[in-house]
Amino acid sequence: MTRIAICGGVYSNPYALRAFVADARAKGADRLWCLGDFGGYGAEPEEIWTLLRGNDIECIAGNYEVAIGRGDPDCGCGYRDPRDNEYAQLMYDYTRTHTSAGYAAWMRSLPTERRERVDGVDVHLVHGSTLQLNDFWWESLTDQEHRERVAASGADVICCTHSGIPWTRRIDGTLVVNVGVLGRPANDGRQEVWYALLDVVDGAAEATLVPLAYDWRAHAASMRAAGLPEAFVETVETGWWTTCLEIVPPQERSHGRFQLYRSALPDEFGAAEVSWADAPDTVDDGRPVVELFGTALFPPRLWLYTNFHCNLKCWYCSVASHPKARPREISGERYRELVDEAVAEGFTELYVTGGEPFLRADVVELLEYASERIATVALTNGLLYKGRRRTELARLAHRPNLILQTSIDGARAETHDRNRGEGSWVRAMEGIEIAQSLGMPVRVGMTETAQNQDEVPLLRELLRQRGIVGANFAVRPLVRRGHSDTGVEIDDQNTVPELAVTADGWHWHPAGADLATSPDMLLGPSEISMREAKRRAVERFLVRRQSDGSLPQIYHCAV
């Protein structure tokens, strides 16, 4: 057997390179290979040359070596976004300034690829890919894109680096190994970096990706002492990428902590019909990047559909609820699991909705559990506060974390009842009075239609007289979903995500949480974790994000 240890992207990190040599030798490596990009990111480029030559590491050149060897003005890294290139230029300028003429001359002597037979196996070493020196060979490329790169070589094994995230798979019989990089973590929240072991036995090859611990604290201290940007140092210390994000595809980027440059956030949202939200309220923590979740672009608000059957049949219900709807109840045990998971995942608000949640015998118990742990809003038509339910409702009084949100669709009974059924306006207004008499905060949401739009000022005044003012009354547009065949068109291409969970699964937005009428909004089945559902929402957001960098509008179901 021949065992070869293969690294790439050293990025001026001598601490990781020393650890690589020691770890590879300890694991019985017969040869050590490096696939280029010796400089960039770290503070000690010249030390890399000493380590590479002193440890018999066989090298090919990456885009950094070609650029520095030729004296190019930039690294030729292959970034397309100006913000990515800004940080790449900072790294390159530092490296070029601190690279000796002898080191640069040695770089010029290196080949940009290497091919040899190892115990009968044809192994092809490249930096970016078989197509181009600075090509990013991501695992998430399409099958056709993978095959194109494999076909350009024809080798049994192809090893590459450059993208910074390791992976390995067989493509049409060829073993492809992206060995990762030594210079910085793989955007996985770990301080370790990565390399690969290639084992060749009897004409067959297998690869193992190896996480490598090293003295990252010394590396970070070296970078700070050199005055390199704090964003670079933070990545070394935390394992999360804070620069050069736009080149990263949605799938890989959604696994990281940060997804957008702060400068990509809009100053304000346009005056589109579905947008009646303020500009994103994000705290400037000094980082150049932000996490999508937790901003107005993906608010930390979870919508939990306890059930779908309802005591009313509103003609425009976006999730097609009605008295004979399939109930799709979430069990009490599952509900409590979801509440606990929401708290752990950083959600700050929980909207309990349906259907009509108060059709459930255990609704008060469910709201008690939630409101003890997270700010909770219960959406209801307010018609069921009678008898036993009214007695139990009193248990929810004076809970600082609980609000009842009732739907009122007009200032006059006939207007409201036209949407929701005869007698429903009077009973809903009585429900508001009952809740207020018990000391419960109440909000009101109105769905605006052509029939009731003239009554918005009248309803606002009517509610003011009952102490419901300001943000506690909101008007939302009618959407074309569920029962409604008219209204604003919303989908995952023009509306930001607000994660919703039902018995059927996880959904992009609460207005599209009915699987039968909004299958396009489904993110995944109920079996996946909340964390995975969030990740899928982030990935879909990044996929749907317009190519010019603009961002979707906001349609709020919440007040």
| The pLDDT of residue 555 is above 60 | no
Structure confidence at residue 263 (pLDDT): 84
| The pLDDT of residue 246 is above 90 | yes
Q: For residue 493, how far is the Cα from the chain centroid?
A: 16
Cα 327 from Cα 310, distance rounded (Å): 9
Q: Please, are residues 182 and 13 in contact by the beta-carbon 8 Å criterion?
A: yes
- For residue 289 the two structure tokens come to 């990047």
For the chain, domain boundaries: 2-217, 259-271+280-297, 301-548
Overall average pLDDT of the 2-6 stretch: 98
* pLDDT band at residue 546 using 50, 70 and 90 as cut-offs: low
Structure confidence at residue 549 (pLDDT): 55
Cα 507 from Cα 525, distance rounded (Å): 9
Provide the CB-side half-sphere exposure for 412 (13 A, CA).
8
Q: Taking all residues of the chain, what is their mean pLDDT, rounded to a whole number?
A: 93
Cα 403 from Cα 146, distance rounded (Å): 52
Instruction: Output 72 or 495, whichever has higher pLDDT.
Output: 72
Tens of pLDDT, residues 141-161? 999 999 999 999 999 999 999
| The pLDDT of residue 554 is above 70 | no
Structure confidence at residue 272 (pLDDT): 39
Contacts of 506 (CB under 8 A, 6+ apart): 499, 500, 522, 523, 524, 525, 526, 528, 530, 533, 536
| The pLDDT of residue 337 is above 80 | yes
Tens of pLDDT, residues 483-505? 999 999 999 888 889 999 999 99
Overall average pLDDT of the 435-464 stretch: 95
Alpha-carbon dihedral angle through residues 530, 533, 537, 538, given to the nearest 10 degrees = 70
Cα 406 from Cα 403, distance rounded (Å): 10
Q: Please, are residues 75 and 100 in contact by the beta-carbon 8 Å criterion?
A: no
Least confident of 17-31, 218-232, 293-307, 536-550: 536-550
Overall average pLDDT of the 344-358 stretch: 97
* pLDDT band at residue 53 using 50, 70 and 90 as cut-offs: very high
Overall average pLDDT of the 414-437 stretch: 95
DSSP 389-420: HHHHHGGGTT-TTEEEEEE---SSHHHHHHHH
* pLDDT band at residue 280 using 50, 70 and 90 as cut-offs: very low
Cβ-count burial 524-559 (b if 16+ within 10 Å, e if not): eeeeeebeebbbbbbbbbbebbeeeeebbbbbbbbb
Rg (C-alpha) for the chain, rounded Å, is: 29
Q: For residue 392, how far is the Cα from the chain centroid?
A: 40
Lateral strand order in the sheet of 522-525: 473-477, 442-448, 402-407, 375-380, 349-353, 301-305, 500-501, 505-507, 522-525
Cα 204 from Cα 268, distance rounded (Å): 58
The CATH number for 2-217, chosen from 3.40.140.80, 3.60.21.10, 3.40.50.970, 3.30.360.10, is: 3.60.21.10
- For residue 10 the two structure tokens come to 């050293």
Structure confidence at residue 186 (pLDDT): 98
Q: Please, are residues 356 and 312 in contact by the beta-carbon 8 Å criterion?
A: yes
Amino acid letter for position 335: Y
Least confident of 364-368, 447-451, 518-522: 447-451
Predicted TM-score (pTM) of this structure = 0.92
Structure confidence at residue 296 (pLDDT): 83
Tens of pLDDT, residues 91-118? 999 999 999 999 999 999 999 999 999 9
* pLDDT band at residue 297 using 50, 70 and 90 as cut-offs: confident
Overall average pLDDT of the 226-253 stretch: 97
For the domain bounded by 301-548, which CATH number is listed?
A: 3.20.20.70
Structure confidence at residue 282 (pLDDT): 67
Tens of pLDDT, residues 381-415? 999 998 888 999 999 999 999 999 999 999 999 99
Alpha-carbon dihedral angle through residues 285, 288, 289, 295, given to the nearest 10 degrees = 50
Structure confidence at residue 550 (pLDDT): 59
